[in-house]
Amino acid sequence: MRNKSTVLLLIFTIAALIAFGLSEKPISAQQKSAETEQQKAPAVPKETCITAQCHAQMGKDKFVHGPVAASQCAPCHGESPKHKDDPKNNKFGVIKKISDKCFSCHEKFKPKKFTHTALENNECTECHSPHGSAFKFQLKAKGGDLCFQCHDEAIVGKPFVHGPAAVGGCVACHDPHTADYAKNLKAEGPALCFNCHTDKAETIHSSQFVHKPVSENCVSCHNPHSASKQFMLESSSPALCLNCHKDKKDQLASVTVKHGALEIERSCLNCHDAHNSNIAKNLTKEPMDLCLGCHDREYKRADGKMVTNVKKWLTENTDHHGPIKQKDCSGCHNPHGSNNFRILRNFYPSTFYESFAVENYNLCFSCHEKTLVLNPETTKLTNFRNGNTNLHFVHVNKAIKGRTCRACHETHASNFPKHIREAVPFGGWDLPLNYQKTGTGGSCTPGCHKIKKYDREKKEING
């Protein structure tokens, strides 16, 4: 029974297939040809705004906005109901708040204290072309050319221009969108400058003394855009330095004798480093080494007299004055200027003879006891005494023709104890002292008197 049913089902199926085949019409050669041509024909392009008839140049820039490159105008402009019916009269709606449209795709900038004006006004297209441009980020112009469409180009108009400003690299210092610092700066104060000036940063951070503007604000001295002087300075030293160092400005305006270093090229910078140093006052060398770096030759003064080669003198003379031993030239000399000859800090007679007055020896008495020339007799003030007679008093304390300190002592050094002179200028003659020391005194036979001796223990009787 099962076999009979299977045979009947097979016969029915064959009959149905034959009937279906007979009912289907045969494909003609013409139909086959049409189908082949249809397969070969190019696909009809999707209708867009960018065609040979409309917006033909759109999307041909070097840098193209993503939606334009994808022929997708609607994400920014929206669909126009007229577009399908009459493309030529199609009008997109006005984008009222451009930044909202931009930020519908682009991530918003992190809110910071300062915002670039264009962004603050929601006008991204002030700087960026919404379709495409020849410049990266679809900027409307390159570097500074873009910035100077709003900002005054005069800021880079001076003879010396800061490197980034000169090549339009404004964004080296400024963030074009938002920043935590005024003027949209990427960092504050010296930290911004050190982003590029790494060599300076290393030496400054490792120095013991740093010039105050360097640690606070480089633009106190340097213009960040352009300046009249080299190194982006608005003025040269000393004028630049004296803008801040008012005390020195007042001092130099009142003194009669200025340090020669201030009067030549580099001025203050002949002694001080403008940025940093490991020596106090930002000196470029240790004080005495600095002085002898220039005073290693003779100089002709305005009055025609010569200033000695101090370095050579100190080398050739071994008994040095106290401040010299301490390597402190500024103990006697003001390194900027004074109202005394040779920029001495206090008055000191420049002559061989001087009527005695305490104030005439203010320089010496800033270290030495003034009683040295006030007491006629002593047993302690000085070893220059004949018995108890104070020979300093005898020589110096005279109403007329008092001998000044320079008559017997070299102010820097000599080869005799107490830096006693070998000779002293006396007009056009070097007046010899012929000093001889003994265990309890000494003698001299100068050009001003015959030999005279002194003895602290047994008073000499001189003729």
Indicate whether 51 belongs to any domain: no
* Same domain (yes/no): 136, 157: no
Indicate whether 460 belongs to any domain: no
The residue range of the domain holding 98 is 56-85+93-140
Q: Tell me what pLDDT residue 344 has.
A: 98
* Same domain (yes/no): 334, 362: no
3-state secondary structure the chain: CHHHHHHHHHHHHHHHHHHHHHHCCCCCHHHHHHHHHHHHCCCCCCCCCCCCCCCCCCCCCCEECHHHHCCCCHHHHCCCCCCCCCHHHCCCCCCCCHHHHHCCCCCCCCCCCEECHHHHCCCHHHCECCCEECCHHHECCCHHHHHCCCCCHHHHCCCEECHHHHCCCHHHCECCCEECEHHHECCCCHHHHHCCCHHHHHHHHCCCEECHHHHHCHHHCECCCEECEHHHECCCCCHHHHCCCHHHHHHHHHCCEECHHHHCCCHHHHCECCCEECCHHHECCCHHHHHHCCCCCCEECCCCCEECCHHHHHHHCCEECHHHHCCCHHHCECCCEECCHHHECCCCCCCCECCCCHHHHCCHHHCCCHHHHCCCECCCCCCCEECCEEHHHHHHCCCCCCECHHHCECCCEECCHHHECCEEEECCEEEECCCEECCCEEEECCCCCCCEEEECCCCCCCC
Low-confidence ranges of the chain (pLDDT < 50): 1-2, 7, 15-25, 27, 44
Q: Tell me what pLDDT residue 14 has.
A: 54
* Same domain (yes/no): 127, 75: yes
* Same domain (yes/no): 440, 382: yes
Global pTM? 0.80
* Same domain (yes/no): 282, 310: yes
Q: Tell me what pLDDT residue 428 has.
A: 87
Indicate whether 164 belongs to any domain: yes
Total of domains in the chain: 4
* Same domain (yes/no): 327, 301: yes
* Same domain (yes/no): 222, 285: no
Q: Tell me what pLDDT residue 164 has.
A: 97
Q: Tell me what pLDDT residue 1 has.
A: 46
Q: Tell me what pLDDT residue 292 has.
A: 98
Indicate whether 437 belongs to any domain: yes
Indicate whether 262 belongs to any domain: yes
* Same domain (yes/no): 385, 410: yes
pLDDT by residue (tens digit) across 345-402? 999 999 999 999 999 999 999 999 999 999 999 999 999 999 999 999 999 999 999 9
